[in-house]
Amino acid sequence: MNRAPDVPAANRRAEWQAPCAARPDDWDLDIGGPSDWQRAIHICLACPALTSCGERVRLLTRKGIGPAAMIWAGVGYDSRGRAIDDVRTYRPARIRRSQKSTVVRRTVPSRVYRLDPELPTTFQDDP
């Protein structure tokens, strides 16, 4: 009988994956709506990783990089990282822009593109 070789514990992939890792968009407060967020919170509260997630939130918050616009450890956080009392009444903040968005090109092209009347397009290197 052939038996598969034993794999060291350090090399084994974890079989279990937290629900938020499998479907991260469900925990994003910029996506979905109140019923989606409530469902995510209920899933969090039943998750075996809830305690470690809560510890991670506290650690990151102390370092000044807490969660924003997401549900983490069963708590919803707004875009400024403040805990939301009731996700049923939460509305994501709209982004306000005072100026029109523009794209700035910061690279110099390596080739000059010129139209040749006899060919559809040619590429000529800079002189």
Contact 36, 44 (CB under 8 A): no
Q: Which amino acid is at 116?
A: D
Question: Is 114 strand, coil or helix?
Answer: strand
Cα–Cα dist 35/42, whole Å: 11
Q: What is the pLDDT of residue 122?
A: 46
Cα–Cα dist 70/79, whole Å: 8
CB atoms under 10 Å from CB of 37, counted, come to 22
pLDDT in tens, 12-41: 555 788 899 888 899 999 888 899 999 999
CB atoms under 10 Å from CB of 73, counted, come to 21
Cα–Cα dist 43/30, whole Å: 18
Domain boundaries, the chain: 18-77
Residue 69, pLDDT > 50, answer yes
pLDDT in tens, 38-58: 999 999 999 999 999 999 999
